[in-house]
Structure 1
Amino acid sequence: MAYQKKVYGQAEAAVNEIKKHILHHDLQSGDPLPTENQLCEYLGMSRTVVREAIRTLTALRIVEVKHGRGTFVGDLSMQPMVESLVFRGLLNPGEDAQSLRDIVEVRASLDISVGEEVIAAWRGRHSPELHRSVEKMQELADAGQTFPQEDRFFHSQLLAPLPNQLFRRLTEAFWDVNTLIAPSLGIPTPADIAITARAHGQILEAAEKGDLDAYRAAVHEHYQPLLNNPGSLDIRLK
């Protein structure tokens, strides 16, 4: 037991050092890392410790091991966070509604917080792709159908021009969690679907016109179908 604790403690230190190595050398996704022997020598740690550290970093998608080729910087996917949050939301029956409201609160707050950046990026621009996406959402809404693919595409592309791409990746991750938990709460009403489709068009129009107040109002409209559910959180969108 004492030996295992020692290994885990050293492995945690190795994880931090490997992260520092990636940052210090400005390595990007797909770039090679030192070999296992080189890491052992560089860190001054045993092969067992280094392998444990690599396993941890692999689980976090920070590194990727390609057998026969070596170890590389991973795609830095948000998937581990998504899976963890979804599992948390579905773990205890009866609490999935609260978990979804928590996710909606984060999504809404994030959309509002990047409002100025979105307006600055989109003012005076026109996106045929996003307009087609909105039209498709409205067509599906008129038919009483949901539009998850178009919805995700819209939110991702809306943030694509922003200099800070972490906003986009976080938005995609929380959207994925939202979408994976939501089915456990039942099918949305046609009225809710229509409101959501219309709000996407209003968000895009406001962004292209450079109207921050209209953008914020449209974001508020977008989340009303979820926020108006009984017991939902009161999110102040300012």
Structure 2
Amino acid sequence: MALGQGAVRPVVPEPKAARQPLRQEVVDGIKAYILRNKLRPGDPLPTEPALCEALGASRSSVREAIRILTALDIVEVRHGHGTYVGRLSLSALVESLAFRGLLSPDDDFQVLSDLVEVRELFERGMADRLVASLGEDQIERLQGLVDEMRAGGSGGGDGFVETDRAFHTLLLAPLGNDLIGQLSTAFWDVYVIVAPHLDVFTYEHEAATIADHQRIVDAVRDRDPAEFAAALADHYAPVRRRIAEARARR
């Protein structure tokens, strides 16, 4: 039917297929700007009008691109201050893996097993370097974390988890490899989020866990990479067993 004079024409949304390339083009343009100018985490990005002009994009397109990049931790919006290069962490990976584990528990016992295997691979695979590189101050800090676990008694809970996580983070610190450190922490975060929902994460073997950590510290103090690797293998074995038992109960 023809529209009468003065009638308002319906707004036809732009096809999604047409919007996608433009959005991705702006996202890629901002990433290219960061790389081209060799910006580092915390460095400021141009203002929104400047980005619009530089990329030849509308304000809405730039804002949408910034939202996408913020979710990926590539940029950070500080309200009232501006937009900055983000921490470039693996938070998006953590969110994706954790959601997958929560969404499909029947399929993702294997994901948990893989995460544990990768964490163990980082630590055991670097046994020689870690034992040689950990300084006396770091060893004492590791011992302090074990003492903290022991002082916590049998209560378990979030405090024990955070101490355990700090222990393994410190263990890998001498490598000076940010990627390994971030991946290990990301896999730990996913495990802590997903495992309780799969009835895997328990504190029933807490005394044995503390003993395993003490054995790891003792091996480092003795500069014994073979014992260090063996202690790690024994430390991760119960985790693998609990995953297998939980899978069998499903």
Q: Tell me the TM-score normalized by structure 2.
A: 0.79
User: Offset of 1:42 from its aligned partner?
Assistant: 2.0
Q: Distance in 2 between matches of 1:162 and 1:8?
A: 41
Letter of the 1:65 counterpart: V
Quote the residue 1:196 is aligned against: 209
Written as runs of structure 1 = structure 2, the 5 A alignment for 1:58-73 is: 58-73=70-85
What secondary structure is seen at the aligned counterpart in 2 of 1:161? helix
Quote the residue 2:8 is aligned against: none
Q: Matched residue pairs, number?
A: 230
Letter of the 1:98 counterpart: Q
Written as runs of structure 1 = structure 2, the 5 A alignment for 1:89-168 is: 89-122=101-134, 127-140=139-152, 143=154, 145=156, 147-168=160-181
Percent same amino acid at aligned positions? Answer: 42
Asked if structure 2 preserves the Cα contact closer than 8 Å seen for 1:62 and 1:76, the reply is yes
Asked if structure 2 preserves the Cα contact closer than 8 Å seen for 1:79 and 1:173, the reply is yes
- Aligned in 2, Cα 1:173/1:217: closer, same or farther, shift over 3 Å? same
Q: Tell me the TM-score normalized by structure 1.
A: 0.83
Q: Distance in 2 between matches of 1:52 and 1:230?
A: 41
Quote the residue 2:185 is aligned against: 172
- Aligned in 2, Cα 1:16/1:205: closer, same or farther, shift over 3 Å? farther
Q: Distance in 2 between matches of 1:5 and 1:20?
A: 23
Quote the residue 1:225 is aligned against: 238
User: Offset of 1:39 from its aligned partner?
Assistant: 1.6
My pick for the range that moved more, 83-92 or 194-203, is 194-203
User: Offset of 1:224 from its aligned partner?
Assistant: 0.7
* Gap runs ≥5 in structure 1: 233-238
Q: Distance in 2 between matches of 1:24 and 1:206?
A: 46
CA RMSD in angstroms comes to 2.6
Per-residue CA shift, 1:42-76, capped at 9, x if unaligned? 22333333222111101111111223322111222
